[in-house]
Amino acid sequence: MYKVIIADDEAIMRKALLKLVDWESLNCKVIYAAEDGQAVIDYFETEKPDIIISDIRMPRIDGLRLAEYLSAHEPQIKLILLTAYADFSYAQQAIRYHVSEYVVKSGASDQVVAAIKRCTNQLCTADQTQSQQPDYREQFFKMAIEGNTYPRNSLAIETIRSNIHDFPRYVLVQRLSFDGTSSNAMHPELHHRTTSFLSDTLSAYVEAQFCIEGIYEYFILRQLPLDLLETYCRKAQSSFQYVVGTPLHVGVSELCKTVDGLSTASRQAREALEYGFYDSRKTIHFYSRAHHFSSDSASFFSTQNARLATTLQLGAAAPSLDLLNETFEFQKRNNVHPSLVRKEGENLIALCKSSVAAAGKYWSDVLPDNIKKVPLSLQYCDQFDYYCKILTAIVDRTSNLIAKSLEQHNDIVLLAQSYIRANFQKDISLNDIASAVKVNPSYLSRTFKARTGTSIVDTITACRMEKAKILLAANHLRIQDIATEVGIENTTYFSQVFKKHVGMSPKDYQRFTERHTAEH
């Protein structure tokens, strides 16, 4: 019997699955009912299942993180994900981690049973005596793709190497398009992972397939005419687009004739994927159909970033967007390599982040809700139009946030100046003023100096000295009393500050004003 683990943080769902499913008729036995994904992983030390049925939303490790763990460490375990939401983003991640089944809870219970049957059928039809050989083959090819040397201490590995040594092959890489525009929800019954669309179509030619980086699916293909390969790919893409609602991009290497050339072929296939960056309508790309990118753009970007830094600091949205559009036009006109474009996007985001921080604002206030993880979005962004959309939104929101911040700066400075004029006779400090205007002291100090050209301490001193000059001109108060009146208890210190500020001692100033008054 096949061993099954159920994972759901709701006890009622665990009980429902235990009671409503006729496990014996499915040749299955539930060995454990867990509250979350972490409990499932912990249970592996006791016993590993053949099938896991898991909710998506759970505490600690949820269903998608469990799927990610299984994809990396236990890919032989079949995973059925249950969700209360027919959400495309969930399904897209489930596909990425090679989830066997994806079922919406609101569907009929027989959908769950059907999903279990499909998993047990897959387990049953696998020939156990031959199943290890494909696993070795996959490991062997994966290490060859990554440029690693597989240890030659296994008869199975040596057999694989000897059988494929002179066999020509292509490396094909497929990738889901992360353009952020797909709105179609994944069909609740869809249980094929993305790889099935190509692997089913190309089954006669697939020698091995595996996932790298959680996004790129690699296929090692036996030799076939490129026109036929393109026809098969278009057929798979058409089905995928219809069912899932998002494009599937394919990159194909040149023909590779030796195992040692697989790492080069894999780089070629990944490079071929870049060919559709500026034209998202093209989704099948062959490295042999050369596409030349430019890489000479560093000086242009450096100049543009310096200009953009200035407009951002001023909170000038229109000039900032004009400069950004100039950058976009340059990149597309000169066919700048997509990797350099994405890198420049990260530099622009870093510039926006620093500008926001300098304005005393938070980066989270800038990001639109749909691109909260921007660096990841840019890292895997395969469409120039979406790249432009992300950066335009960020630069626009950054400049507008800074503009509002500058307005607030003016308000803060005016409030601080008003507080100083009303309280300079007291022993006030920067902390007192910051508390009164409700901002951070260091932020107030920096903003005040930037907007007025003088420090808060000098402003307080200037107010005190102007008041002292008025009192000295009255000529009926002692110097000691005047010092106390303007908030300075030490008469000697008051005299030093007054002389530095006015150019003469308090006594001399008093005599000067007395003579001036008598003459007029």
3-state per-residue secondary structure call for 37-64: HHHHHHHCCCCCCCEEEEECCCCCCCHH
Given a cut of 60, is residue 190 above it in pLDDT? no
Given a cut of 50, is residue 293 above it in pLDDT? yes
For strand 248-252 and strand 101-104, is the pairing parallel, antiparallel, or unpaired? unpaired
φ/ψ region of 187 (left if φ > 0, alpha if ψ in -120 to 50, else beta) reads: beta
Residues 6+ apart with CB under 8 A from 260: 144
Helix, strand, coil percentages for the chain (3-state, nearest 5): 60, 10, 30
> Of 17-21, 337-341, 373-377, 401-405, where does mean pLDDT reach its minimum?
373-377
237 versus 92: which is more confidently predicted? Answer: 237
Gap between the Cα atoms of 412 and 409, Å rounded: 5
Which amino acid is it at 317? A
State the residue for tokens 């060859």: 144
Question: Which tokens in the block code for residue 96?
Answer: 């990425």
Contact 391, 348 (CB under 8 A): yes
Gap between the Cα atoms of 83 and 98, Å rounded: 16
Q: In DSSP terms, which residues pair with 170 in a beta bridge?
A: 221
Gap between the Cα atoms of 81 and 99, Å rounded: 7
Contact 411, 209 (CB under 8 A): no
Distances (CA, A) of 114 to 23, 84, 191, 401: 12, 18, 10, 52
Q: What is the pLDDT of residues 413-445, one digit of tens each?
A: 888 998 999 999 998 999 999 998 888 888 889
Whole-prediction pTM: 0.53
Closest CA to 7 of 43, 123, 68, 25: 43
Distances (CA, A) of 159 to 148, 152, 210: 18, 10, 20
Question: Which tokens in the block code for residue 242?
Answer: 């219809």
Q: What is the pLDDT of residues 302-325, one digit of tens each?
A: 889 899 998 888 788 899 999 999
Averaged over 457-476, what is the pLDDT? 89
Q: How far is CA 516 from the centre of its chain?
A: 71
DSSP H helices in 97-170:
109-125, 132-145, 155-164
Q: What is the pLDDT of residues 368-423, one digit of tens each?
A: 665 555 666 677 788 899 899 889 999 999 999 988 877 766 678 888 998 999 99
Question: Which tokens in the block code for residue 94?
Answer: 């489930």
> Of 71-85, 128-142, 177-191, 494-508, where does mean pLDDT reach its minimum?
177-191
Contact 345, 393 (CB under 8 A): no
Q: So what's the pLDDT on residue 195?
A: 62
